[in-house]
Amino acid sequence: MSTTTAGIILIATLVAALVAVYRPFGNYMYRVVSGDRHSRVERVVYRLIGVDAKAEQSWGTYARSVLAFSLLSLLFLYGFLRLQDKLWLSLGFDPVTDHIAWNTAVSFVTNTNWQAYSGESTMGHLVQMAGLAVQNFVSASVGIAVAVALIRGFARSRSERLGNFWVDLVRITLRILLPLAVLGAIVLMIGGVVQNLSGGTDVGTVAGGAQTITGGPVASQEVIKELGTNGGGFYNVNSAHPFENPTTWTNWIEMFLILLIPFSLPRVFGRMVGQNRQGYAIVAVMAILAIASVSLTNVFELTGGGTVPQAIGAAMEGKELRFGVSDSSTFAAVTTLTSTGAVNSFHDSFTPLGGMMPLVNMMLGEVAPGGVGAGLYGLLILAVITVFVAGLMVGRTPEYLGKKIGAREIKFASLYFLITPMLALIGTAAAFATGNNGTALNVGPHGLSEVLYAFTSASNNNGSAFAGITVNTPWWDTALGLCMLLGRFLPIIFVLGLAGSLARQKPVPASDGTLPTHRPLFVGMLVGVTVVLVALTFLPALALGPLAEGL
C-alpha cells in the first residue's frame, strides 16, 4: 500500500467515525448540560463547595466564578509543584524551580499544557496524577461550560441568567469526561500504553550500557490529555514515545479522542437553540477547514522539496518510523486545529510549508474544530461577525438566530479576536527586541518561525512547539505564561459578556430580509470570513518566516 493511499484511508476512517458519533454523542452531551436532575454524587459535591445548584448566574457572576476557580487551581498547582520533594511518589525529584512551576501551573490551568521540562525526569507520579491530570479534566470542563453559557445566550430571551458555572463544571467532569477517560484508558492499555507506579526499570542497551526506563500512570493521563484537547505528555517526546503511543492504531484512537468532543458540540448547539440545521452548518464549516488543513499538510510533507525527500518520496526527518508521513502529518494538523498541542513528530523538522500549516491552524483561532468548548464559541463569534458583515453589505441590521447584532455585541466579538494576534505578534517582537529570541542555531526565516510559533501556541492555548529553540529561561517562562493567561481568560470574559447581552434581548421574528444561517451560502461566507479576517492578520509575519523559507 502506498503512503498516499494509507493517508487517504486514515483520514476517511476518522471522518466516518466522527460522522457516526455526531448525533448520539452530541445528544448525550445535550442531555447532560440541559437536564435539571442531579445525581447523588453531584449533590454531595455541591454541598461540599457550598453551591445552590438551583441558583443561576448572570454573565458577570458566571465570569467571576470561572476566574475564581481558575485562580485557586493555579495557586494549588504552583504550590504542589514547589513542594514536590515532600510528597509521596516524588521519585526523589527536587522541587520544580519557581519559573518552571509558574509556567507549568499557568499552562495546565489554561488548557495549554506547554511544557518547559522533561516530564519523566522532573515530575513525580503524584504530581502527574493529582496535579497535572486533574487540571486536564477541569480546564477542559471550563471550556465546555463557557461554550454552553454562550449557547444559552442565543437560546434565551429577556433573561439575565446563563446557568450555574459550578453545576456545569461538575456535570461535564463527572458525566462526560470521566467516563470516557476510564474507557479510553482501558483501550490504550490494551494497545500497550503503560499504567503503573514504577519508579523505573534498569535495562541493558544494545551497546552494552545501562538505561533506566521510567514507568508511571501514563495511560490515564494520555487519554484525558487528548480527550480534553489539553496536550502535553508524560514523557519529553510526547505522543512519539512508545509508552504513550505504541502503534498506528493507538495513534488513530488518540486522534479520534482529540476530535470527538469538539466535532460533536455543534450538535449540542443545534439542540439547545432548537434548530439542528444550525448545528449542521457550524460543523460543516469546521469540517471544510479541517479537511483542507489535513490535506495540505500531508501534501507538503509527501512532496517536500530537497534531494533526500524527493528521492524517498516524502520528508521523513523528525518523524517516528512507526507512524511515517501520513500518520505524523495528520496528527500534526489535528493537534493544532484543536488546542491540544500533543505531538507525535518534530514540527521543527517539517518542510517549511508543512511546518507552516500547524502554525496557520493556530492562527485561525483553532476553530476547526478547536479545543473543547473554545473552538465552538470561537466559531460562533465568527458567525456573529459574518452576519454583521453581511448586514453592512445590504444595509440591514444584522441578526443571528433571532438576536440583533448591534454595537455592543460587535465590540465583544471584535475584542475577542484582537487579543490573540496582539499577544502573539507583540510577544514575538519583544523576544527579538530584548535579545531573547533563542535562535543562536537557527537564524533567518526559520528562526523567526520558531519564535512566532512559540508565542502563537501560547497565546492560542495550544501548547505544541517547533522545539528548535531553548525557551526554558525565566524570561521565556514568564512571557509565555502571561500570554497563556491573557489568551485564555480575556476571550472568555468577552464571550460571556456577549452571551449576557444576547440573553437580555427579545427575539426578532425572521423576515424575507433575514439572512438564512443554515444554508451553503452562509457556510461559504463563514469559511471566507474565518480565513480572511483571522489568518490574513498574520500574513506579513508568515511571509517573513515559513513562506520565505519555503520559497
Per-residue pLDDT tens over the stretch 129-186: 989 999 999 999 999 999 999 999 999 999 999 999 999 999 999 999 999 999 999 9
Radius of gyration of the chain, Cα coordinates, nearest whole angstrom: 23
In this structure, is residue 356 part of a structural domain?
no
Range of the domain at 230: 3-274
In this structure, is residue 296 part of a structural domain?
no
In this structure, is residue 394 part of a structural domain?
yes
Helix axes 276-302, 3-34, angle to 10 degrees: 150
Of 154-168, 302-316, 440-454, where does the model show the most confidence?
154-168
CB atoms near residue 179 (< 10 Å): 10
> What is the residue-averaged pLDDT of the chain?
91
Q: Cα(240)–Cα(227) distance, rounded to whole angstroms?
A: 17
pLDDT for the residue 499: 97
Q: Cα(356)–Cα(338) distance, rounded to whole angstroms?
A: 16
Number of domains into which the chain is organized? 2
**pLDDT tens, residue by residue, 41-69:** 999 999 999 999 999 999 999 999 999 99
Q: Are residues 119 and 224 in the same domain?
A: yes
Query: Which of 274, 303, 325 lies at the terminal end of a domain, its last residue?
Result: 274
Q: Using CA atoms in the order 414, 416, 417, 423, what is the torsion angle rounded to 10 degrees?
A: 130
pLDDT for the residue 2: 67
In this structure, is residue 335 part of a structural domain?
no
Worst-scoring range by mean pLDDT, 86-90, 197-201, 404-408, 473-477?
197-201
- Confidence band for 231, pLDDT divided at 50, 70 and 90: confident
Q: What's the rounded mean pLDDT across residues 366-379?
A: 94
Quote the distance between the C-alpha of residue 307 and its chain's center.
35
Worst-scoring range by mean pLDDT, 186-200, 257-271, 336-350, 391-405?
391-405
Residues 6+ apart with CB under 8 A from 242: 192, 322
In this structure, is residue 229 part of a structural domain?
yes
Is the pLDDT higher at 500 or at 352?
Answer: 500
* In the predicted structure, residue 367 carries a pLDDT above the cut 70: yes
Worst-scoring range by mean pLDDT, 64-68, 210-214, 467-471?
467-471
- Confidence band for 467, pLDDT divided at 50, 70 and 90: confident
In this structure, is residue 465 part of a structural domain?
yes
Q: Are residues 270 and 395 in the same domain?
A: no
pLDDT for the residue 537: 85
pLDDT for the residue 170: 97
pLDDT for the residue 312: 60
Q: Are residues 260 and 374 in the same domain?
A: no
Give the H/E segment covering residue 163: none
Peptide bond preceding 24 in cis form (omega within 30 of 0): no
Q: Are residues 260 and 404 in the same domain?
A: no
Q: Cα(543)–Cα(108) distance, rounded to whole angstroms?
A: 32
Q: Are residues 98 and 231 in the same domain?
A: yes
Q: Cα(328)–Cα(218) distance, rounded to whole angstroms?
A: 21
In this structure, is residue 121 part of a structural domain?
yes
pLDDT for the residue 218: 93
* In the predicted structure, residue 439 carries a pLDDT above the cut 60: no
Query: Which of 274, 300, 315 lies at the terminal end of a domain, its last residue?
Result: 274
Q: How far is CA 279 from CA 266, 371, 444, in A?
A: 5, 17, 44
